[in-house]
């Protein structure tokens, strides 16, 4: 028997945009009245020099087209792409929320999906009642739901409000309960959209850990996210959508790196023109770039590789001591560090006119997974300290753990690493085989 649980063939979804849609609940009289009045309304618009409403136009738009792929049992697959690439439309079709225009899908087993906060929840029902409602929708018996009930409540952390109608929940509370239900009622296929971004950082890590556990139990997970660190950590395979079509399908590391380096992700180069360049009394900033350890411009770096932040600037008036600065912040807004140029050649030395390129090298196995956002500055130190040039969030880069088994910073550990840094520290262990080792049990 084939282990393929999700099969997508020639899938396409077409929408009509700009077409004036009538309400399906309008009465016959209302619809006839609209038909009679519409020509006169358009004539009035033209008489007053106005174009007819754009909503009267009917334009076809293919959200996704000619998409083909198969997913095997137990695979954790990331789906990435720019906004508007068709990711959410694809998941809605797979979740049976909307029907495809062309092609077909085949899914073996129950599907649990979390596409929008509160999807499948009735606002007037309590959290407790919604757990049983969602379980029934998945085809589970009341006894099966009861067996998982305590674990769902514990994971969601909404026990205090369990018998409160969901309409009174915050978006974060609703998300926690919705994810707990989707993940713990044992669907064969779990589909999760970027909705996890609503939760706090701690809960996001908790959800990612749970999805990894689900995959480890032989169930299938489809995960859409703009967080490339989360995608590469959790998924071995990634599908890239571009303009509604399947652009790439392969290993997480190769697809994510290609996506980021294509310019679809964060920008690793900031070139300034004469009008936009940060400028001071003696210096002007020309460019900021992110380079890998081979010296090439890069959007992403492996966690074990060094990465360079390059600042190019011109000095047009000599005689000042200048010091480039780099400030690194992560995607949660936490400042990781500030570094200043201590190059011995120019430290405390007045710079002559000319072009300079200063690069701050961040060693490998220092940063943890995620995005690094770089702000840059040039300070004049003598005769008095003065900020010459400053540019906030000039460039950004992604730190990725390939998890291919070759990274000594992770070793055999496959779980999450908390904290904003992940250094590869030197460890030493002494062993004494002749020590008197005794086991003493406490009374």
pLDDT, position 278:
93
| Mean pLDDT, residues 129-133 | 90
Residue closest to 377 by CA, chosen among 335, 340, 334: 340
Complete DSSP assignment for 415-430 = S---SSB---------
pLDDT above 70 covers a percentage of the chain that reads: 80
| Nearest C-alpha neighbor of 204 from the set 229, 236, 235 | 229
Q: What is the 8-class DSSP label of residue 50?
A: P
Q: 348-368: b or e for each residue (b if 16 or more CB lie within 10 Å)?
A: eeebeeeebebbbebebbbbb
| pLDDT at 385 > cutoff 90 | no
pLDDT of residue 164: 93
Give the number of other CB atoms < 10 A from CB of residue 196: 21
What's the rounded Cα separation, in Å, for the pair 153 and 148? Answer: 9
Report the pLDDT value the prediction gives residue 1, as an integer from 0 to 100: 47
CA quadruple 161, 162, 164, 168: dihedral, nearest 10: 60
How far is C-alpha 430 from the chain's CA centre?
43
The enclosing H or E element of 382 equals strand 370-382
Phi, psi of 316, rounded to the nearest 5 degrees: -105, 0
Asked if residue 289 lies in contact with residue 276, where contact means CB atoms within 8 angstroms, the answer is: no
Q: 128 with 160: CB under 8 angstroms? A: no
Question: What is the average per-residue pLDDT within 205-214?
Answer: 79
**pLDDT, tens only, 159-173:** 899 999 989 988 788
Q: Which of 332, 410, 419, 417 is nearest to 371 (CA)?
A: 332
Which residues touch 134 (CB under 8 Å, ≥6 apart)?
Answer: 120, 121, 181, 182, 185
Q: If you average pLDDT over each of 17-21, 132-136, 435-439, which comes out highest?
A: 132-136
What pLDDT, in 10s, does the model give residues 245-281? Answer: 999 999 887 787 677 656 544 578 999 998 889 999 9
Of 233 and 271, the one with more pLDDT: 271
Q: What are phi and psi of 327, to 5 degrees?
A: -120, 125
- The 3-state DSSP composition of the chain as helix, strand, coil percent (nearest 5) reads 25, 35, 40
- 383 cis-preceded (ω within 30 degrees of 0): yes
Q: Could you tell me the CA-to-CA distances from 311 to 273, 286, 360 in Å, in that order?
A: 15, 8, 8
Average pLDDT, the chain: 81
- Which tokens belong to 197? 């971004």
Q: What angle do CA 138, 140, 141 make, to 5 degrees?
A: 150
- Number of Cβ within 10 Å of residue 119's Cβ equals 17
Pairing of strands 283-292, 307-315: antiparallel
CB count within 10 Å of CB 314 equals 15
- Beta bridge partner(s), residue 28: none
Q: How far apart are the C-alpha atoms of 37 and 192, rounded to whole Å?
A: 45
pLDDT over threshold 80, residue 349 = yes
DSSP secondary structure letters along 241-306: EETTEEEEEEEHHHHHHHHIIIIIS---EEE--TTTS-B-SSEEEEEEEEEETTS-B-SEEETTS-
Nearest to 186 by CA among 228, 225, 220: 220
Least confident stretch, 135-149, 190-204, 420-434: 190-204
Q: What is the pTM of this model?
A: 0.60
The token pair at 37 is 């009045």
List of domains in the chain: 61-261 (3.40.50.300), 269-400 (2.70.50.60)
Torsion over CA of 6, 12, 17 and 22, rounded to 10 degrees? -70
What per-residue confidence (pLDDT) applies to 407?
47
pLDDT at 208 over 80: no
């Amino acid at each position: 028997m084939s282990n393929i649980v999700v099969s997508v063939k020639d899938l396409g979804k077409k929408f009509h945009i700009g077409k004036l849609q009538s309400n399906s609940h309008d009465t016959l009289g209302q619809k006839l009245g609209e038909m009679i009045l519409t020509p006169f309304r358009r004539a009035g618009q033209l008489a007053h020099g106005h174009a007819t409403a754009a909503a009267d136009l009917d334009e076809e738009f293919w959200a996704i087209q000619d998409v083909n792929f198969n997913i095997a049992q137990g695979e954790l697959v990331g789906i990435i792409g720019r906004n508007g690439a068709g990711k959410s439309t694809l998941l809605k079709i797979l979740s049976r929320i909307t029907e495809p225009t062309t092609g077909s899908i085949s899914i073996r087993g129950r599907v649990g999906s979390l596409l929008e906060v509160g999807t499948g929840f009735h606002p007037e029902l309590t959290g407790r009642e919604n757990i049983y409602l969602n379980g029934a929708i998945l085809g589970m018996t009341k006894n099966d739901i009861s067996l998982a009930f305590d674990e769902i409540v514990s994971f969601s952390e909404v026990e205090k409000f369990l018998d409160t109608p969901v309409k009174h929940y915050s978006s974060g509370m609703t998300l926690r309960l919705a994810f707990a239900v989707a993940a713990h009622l044992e669907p064969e296929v779990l589909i999760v959209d970027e909705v996890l971004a609503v939760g706090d950082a701690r809960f996001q890590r908790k959800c990612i850990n749970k999805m990894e556990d689900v995959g480890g139990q032989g169930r299938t997970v489809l995960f859409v996210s703009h967080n490339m660190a989360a995608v590469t950590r959790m998924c071995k395979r990634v599908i890239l959508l571009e303009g509604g079509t399947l652009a790439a399908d392969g290993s997480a590391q190769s697809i994510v790196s290609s996506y980021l380096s294509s310019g679809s992700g964060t920008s690793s180069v900031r070139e300034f023109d004469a009008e936009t360049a940060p400028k001071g009394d003696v210096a002007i900033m020309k460019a900021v770039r992110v380079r890998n350890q081979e010296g090439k411009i890069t959007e992403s770096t492996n966690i074990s590789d060094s990465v360079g932040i390059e600042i190019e600037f011109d000095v047009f008036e000599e005689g000042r001591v200048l010091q480039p600065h780099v400030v690194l912040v992560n995607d949660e807004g936490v400042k990781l560090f500030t570094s200043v140029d201590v190059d011995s050649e120019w430290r405390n030395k007045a710079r002559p006119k000319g072009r300079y390129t200063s690069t701050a090298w961040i060693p490998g196995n220092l940063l943890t997974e995620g995005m690094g956002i770089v702000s840059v500055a040039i300070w004049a130190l003598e005769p008095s300290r003065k900020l010459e040039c400053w540019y906030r969030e000039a460039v950004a880069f992604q730190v990725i753990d390939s998890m291919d088994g070759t990274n000594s910073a992770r070793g055999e550990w496959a779980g999450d690493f908390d904290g904003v840094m992940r250094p590869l520290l030197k460890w030493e262990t002494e062993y004494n085989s002749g020590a008197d080792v005794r086991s003493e049990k406490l009374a």
